[in-house]
A and B are shown apart, each in its own frame.
Chain A
Amino acid sequence: MKKYSILVADDQQNACDGIKEALQNRYAVDTANSLQEAINLWNERQHDIVITDLCMPTGTEGLDLLQHIKSRSPNAAVILMTAYGDIDTAVKAMKLGALDFFTKPFTAEEIEIKIESALRNLTLIAANQNLCRTIDDDHALIGGSAVMLDLKKRITRVAQSDASILITGPHGTGKELVAWAIQRASARSDKPFIRVNCAAIAETLIDAELFGSEKGSYTGSSERKPGKFQQADRGTLFLDEVGDMSLAAQAKLLRALESGEITPVGSIKTLLVDVRIIAATNKNLKQLIADKQFREDLLYRLNGVLVETKALADHTEDIPALITHFLKRMGRSGDVQKIFSKEAVECLMNWSWPGNVRELKNVIERTVLFCEDGSIGAEDVKCNISSGETVPNQKTDTKKTLKDARADFEREFISIVLKESKTISEAAEKLGLQRSYLHQKMNELGIANT
């Protein structure tokens, strides 16, 4: 295992020797007796941790070393020690990025504890950066098609402003990824990104969920709980499935958005929150407004800028890149790497993908899981698409009669609409049919009522 490296900079040789002896069994320790020697050694070896005396010997060389290191390696851990610990210098050191500041004299045990604490800090920073990278990879918008390039350009543009954003598009087209990309490209990128699934919040709990609650404010609230608005303060609040929110919840949300203030349940205090709102829906909000299911004033509040995601069928040229992306992700989780043959990729590109990228991802995962060979062929793909709930983008079969072809189309079309609808009445409305006639059609075409 690699030993962590430590640089000790102090013009007092005896102190350097003592610190080195205390640490050298567990760490690779270098010592320097002047600022220049410390800079040269650090430039050469980029030590994980630097412990430096503040005064060596003419002034505050420790701060110069700190600045030199921080300007080149912002995550480096620099600990300052001093014989004269005045508050002003300590504040200055911490502002310049020192991890710790302590006064002499100290024992070998004390310096060991400081180093262990610094290493924990370094490990946490590294783990956090790895997690962020993984999340960014998982949330990457894949594809170089004109559709995706347009989307990425729009994201870059809207990220610069603080306007509220409404993302619309069919399900499975990556609306959450777009919201994440906007957050990461915005000035709030290092602040929280809190997702709220508006469809999943019970109407009775909406206040507590969004605005938080004080201890004992309702049965079962055993502790003070911050709401989503508080959690997202100074960051971004992503309201997913906003079209599925109840009217009562919409009214409460609108009030919070208009005033920028929230009142936790059971509290008499009003809190100011600074939150950027990104909302998403696959519903037609204008239609919902016409049906009196969505508040018009809330739509205007949310719809500062509109961003639309397109169906995968509109950019099938991105499918090879998406396959590579999903295979890479599966490889990371320890699954055996497999390759999609040219025919398999073509087969995937010829599908209609009513479930969009989410469906493609599921098909890829299923195919990789069930295919025993390292190379995945067109047959493997077809087998796994048909075992899912997708509908093939069938090539025209000219041997069929017009009646049969029409029946096939109707069966396919009605099945898709049924799948996208919660109830038969909703499907009938979308299809422009009477509910009873849709039932009759389903019986004729052999469509199961699921």
Chain B
Amino acid sequence: MGSTTCNQELGKFASMLANKIRNPLNAIMLHSSLLKRSTGLSANDRKHLKVIDDETLKVDLLVTEIIDDILKTCS
């Protein structure tokens, strides 16, 4: 496989990975932020929501790092 083709394939993989993981993360983050608007939440509920947000951002960061590594391999 030539280097150009290899780079294209890795680029496609990075795009696919981002779409497959960030789309669900987006839904989680959106709905979590909507849930926070609810007035009936206890302090404990808010603590759980914060965990969801933090873990979502961790996965997002992980995706970013993986994509950066893939792109470094390409170049």
Point out residues on A near B: beta carbons under 8 Å: 12, 14-15, 18-19, 21-22, 55, 83-84, 86, 103-109, 111
Do A18 and B31 touch across chains, with their CB atoms under 8 A apart? Answer: yes
Contact A105 B25 (CB under 8 A): yes
- B15 to A12, Cβ gap below 8 A? no
Report yes or no: A84 in contact with B25, Cβ–Cβ below 8 A: no
Instruction: Please report B residues at the A interface, Cβ cutoff 8 Å.
Output: 11, 14-15, 18-19, 21-34, 37, 56, 60, 67
List the A residue with the shortest CB-CB distance to B64: A103
CA distance A390 to B27 in the complex (A): 75
A15, B23: Cβ atoms closer than 8 Å: yes
Query: Given the interface contacts A18-B27, A83-B22, A84-B19, does A105 sit within 8 Å of B34 by beta carbon?
Result: no
Q: Is the CB of B34 within 8 A of A21?
A: yes
CA distance A250 to B26 in the complex (A): 65
Are B37 and A108 neighbours in the complex by a CB distance under 8 Å?
Answer: yes
For this complex, 25 residue pairs linking A to B, each with C-beta atoms less than 8 Å apart, are A12-B26, A14-B24, A14-B27, A14-B30, A15-B27, A18-B27, A18-B30, A21-B34, A22-B30, A22-B34, A83-B18, A83-B19, A83-B21, A84-B22, A86-B11, A103-B22, A104-B22, A105-B22, A105-B26, A105-B28, A105-B30, A105-B56, A105-B60, A107-B30, A108-B30
**Please, which residue of chain A has its CB at the minimum distance from the CB of B18?**
A84
Given A105-B60, A108-B34, do A55 and B27 touch, yes or no (CB 8 Å)? no
Provide the residues of chain B in CB contact with A108, threshold 8 Å.
Answer: 30, 33-34, 37
Q: What's the Cα separation between A377 and B51 when bound, in Å?
A: 81
Measured CB to CB, the nearest residue on chain B to A85 is: B18
Given contacts A15-B23, A83-B18, A84-B19, 13 further A-B contacts (CB under 8 A): A18-B34, A83-B19, A83-B21, A83-B22, A84-B15, A86-B11, A105-B22, A105-B30, A105-B60, A107-B33, A108-B34, A109-B33, A111-B30
Across the A-B interface, the 5 shortest Cβ-Cβ residue pairs: A18-B30, A84-B18, A14-B27, A83-B22, A107-B33
Return chain B residues, CB-CB under 8 Å to A105: 22, 25-26, 28-30, 56, 60
- Chain B, Cβ-Cβ closest to A14: B27
B18 with A14: CB separation less than 8 A: no
CA A12 – CA B24 in complex, angstroms? 8
Question: CA separation between A14 and B24, bound complex, in Å?
Answer: 8
Q: How far is the CB of A10 from chain B (nearest CB, A)?
A: 8
Bound Cα distance from A437 to B22, whole angstroms: 94
